[in-house]
Homo-oligomer: A and B are copies of this chain.
Amino acid sequence: MKIRVINPNGSAGMAQLLEATCQGIKAADTQLSVIHLPGSVASIEGAADGVCAAYHLLGAMRQGQEEGVQGVVIACFDDTGLDAARELASGPVLGIGEAAMHAASMLSVRYSILTSLPRSIHIIERNMHSYGLQRRCANIHAADIPVLELERDPAHYLRLRALGQQILRDDRSECLVMGCAGMSQWAQRLQEDLGVPVVDGVQVALKWVESLVQLGLGSSKSLSYAWPRSKAV
């Protein structure tokens, strides 16, 4: 099956990191393509960045649909442009934010999210209320590290681990969600160090999109996610 992972910002480096993660876990029969969006913002830090990235995502979605892509992962924890993307696809489209939150809800009764910047908290919270998932999320925290820094400097791991320990204790949480695609690389190590499940939405979303495609389940094309109307000019 043809699955596409879209990094909605313009960073080729992050797309390479994502590709490394995804190639290691994809199903044998998955034709995987991991792309970034040249022309989009360098990183998505806030709502204006998100609008710009979502705009570039539209083109990538239309092209993917034409190319026969059967399932899509949007690899930004903000689930950038998710509703719009579903309007443009017949197959399943999952954001890594929603996938991680749904998974954490089935592994624990109380989880916390650790994202990059304070300004992203509102965006994640807004999504969470749209999905209706706020019940099991204890809190959303920001490491206050810019997205591209996360990716570049492995030394940030120690700070993430210390934050993770404090968050679990203060929030009485039983599971930690990596709230940024740039943190994917540390999920496994952090899980070993913290002793609770640490959820990376990139991995979960990829596997779940594969399974939905296999089961013949795609975005509903009735009402909210119907194909866009053509404009009578």
Q: Which residues of B contact A211 (CB under 8 A)?
A: 204, 207-208, 210-211
How long is the Cα–Cα vector from A161 to B219 in the complex, in angstroms? Answer: 20
CA distance A112 to B123 in the complex (A): 19
Tell me if A174 and B222 are in contact (CB < 8 A). Answer: yes
> Complex formed: what's the CA distance from A132 to B146 in Å?
29
CB contact between A48 and one of B43, B84, B98, B103 (< 8 Å): that residue? B84
Q: Is the CB of B48 within 8 A of A220?
A: no
A89→B214 CA distance, assembly (Å): 27
Q: Known: A48-B88, A118-B172, A129-B129. Contact between A41 and B231, CB under 8 A?
A: yes
CA distance A197 to B233 in the complex (A): 33
From B55, B148, B214, B224, contact of A25 by CB (8 A): B214
A132→B216 CA distance, assembly (Å): 26
**Most B Cβ at <10 Å: residue of A47, A83, A121, A231:** A47
User: Contact at B132–A133, with CB atoms within 8 Å?
Assistant: yes
Among B42, B92, B199, B231, contact of A231 (Cβ-Cβ < 8 Å): B42
Give A205-233 as 1s and 0s: 1 = Cβ < 8 Å from B's Cβ atoms: 00110111011111111111110110111
Contacts of A119 in B (CB 8 A): 223-224, 226
A-B pairs with beta carbons under 8 Å apart, 8 shown? A45-B229, A46-B229, A98-B106, A106-B212, A109-B125, A110-B122, A119-B224, A131-B136
The 6 A-B residue pairs with the shortest CB-CB distance in the complex, in nearest-first order: A132-B135, A207-B211, A55-B55, A47-B83, A122-B224, A108-B220
| Chain A residues near B (Cβ < 8 Å) | 25, 27-28, 41-43, 45-52, 54-55, 57-58, 81, 83-84, 86-88, 92, 94, 98-99, 102-103, 105-110, 117-119, 121-123, 125-126, 129-136, 146, 148, 168, 172, 174-175, 188, 191, 195-197, 199-200, 203-204, 207-208, 210-212, 214-226, 228-229, 231-233
